[in-house]
Structure 1
Amino acid sequence: MKYLKQYRIPFSGLAAGKHDFEFEINDKFFDCYEHSLVKKGELTAKVSLQKQEGMLIVNFDINGTIKLTCDVCLAEFDAPVSFQERLIVKFVNEEWDQETDEVIILNKTDHELDIATLLYEYINVQVPYYAKCSEQGVNITCDPEMLAKISTEEDTQSDIETENIDPRWAALKNIKNN
Structure 2
Amino acid sequence: MKDLKEFTIPFVGLKLGKHQFNFELKKAFFEHFEYDEFNDAAINLDVLLEKMSTLLEFTLTYNGTVNVACDTTNEPFDQEVDGEYKFVVKFGDEYNDENEDLLILSHGSYEVNIQQYIFESIVLAMPSRKVHPGVKDGTLKSDILDKLEELSPKDLDEQSEPEDDNTDPRWDSLKKLLTDK
TM-score bucket (shorter structure): 0.7 to 0.9
The equivalent of 2:133 in structure 1 is: 134
Q: Number of aligned pairs?
A: 156
The equivalent of 1:33 in structure 2 is: 33
Query: For residue 128 of structure 1, what is the amino acid of its counterpart?
Result: P
The equivalent of 2:115 in structure 1 is: 116
Is 2:58 the counterpart of 1:58?
Answer: yes
Partners of 1:30 and 1:39 within 8 A in 2: no
Once residues 140 and 85 of structure 1 are traced to their aligned partners in structure 2, the CA distance between those partners, rounded to angstroms, is 34
Say if 1:47 and 1:96 are closer, same or farther in 2 by CA, change over 3 A. Answer: closer
Q: C-alpha displacement at 1:83, in angstroms? A: 0.5
Say if 1:140 and 1:80 are closer, same or farther in 2 by CA, change over 3 A. Answer: farther
If you compute each CA radius of gyration, which structure gives the higher value, 1 or 2? 2
Say if 1:40 and 1:10 are closer, same or farther in 2 by CA, change over 3 A. Answer: same
Say if 1:23 and 1:97 are closer, same or farther in 2 by CA, change over 3 A. Answer: closer
Say if 1:105 and 1:52 are closer, same or farther in 2 by CA, change over 3 A. Answer: same
Q: C-alpha displacement at 1:17, in angstroms? A: 0.7
Partners of 1:20 and 1:47 within 8 A in 2: yes
Once residues 145 and 55 of structure 2 are traced to their aligned partners in structure 1, the CA distance between those partners, rounded to angstroms, is 53
Q: C-alpha displacement at 1:118, in angstroms? A: 1.0
Say if 1:97 and 1:32 are closer, same or farther in 2 by CA, change over 3 A. Answer: closer
Once residues 59 and 2 of structure 1 are traced to their aligned partners in structure 2, the CA distance between those partners, rounded to angstroms, is 23
The equivalent of 1:46 in structure 2 is: 46
Deviant stretches of 4+, over 3 Å: 35-39, 96-99, 139-145
Gaps spanning 5+ residues in structure 2: where? 153-170, 176-181
Task: State the SS of the aligned residue for 1:12.
Answer: coil
Once residues 138 and 18 of structure 2 are traced to their aligned partners in structure 1, the CA distance between those partners, rounded to angstroms, is 41
Partners of 1:38 and 1:124 within 8 A in 2: no
The Cα RMSD (Å) is: 3.0
Say if 1:99 and 1:106 are closer, same or farther in 2 by CA, change over 3 A. Answer: same
Partners of 1:25 and 1:45 within 8 A in 2: yes
Gaps spanning 5+ residues in structure 1: where? 156-173
Cα distance per residue 1:114-170 (max 9 Å; x no partner): 111111111111122111012999x89544443113323x17xxxxxxxxxxxxxxx
Partners of 1:72 and 1:132 within 8 A in 2: yes
Once residues 145 and 100 of structure 1 are traced to their aligned partners in structure 2, the CA distance between those partners, rounded to angstroms, is 46
TM-score by length of 1: 0.76
Partners of 2:95 and 2:106 within 8 A in 1: no
The equivalent of 2:146 in structure 1 is: 148
Partners of 1:132 and 1:142 within 8 A in 2: no
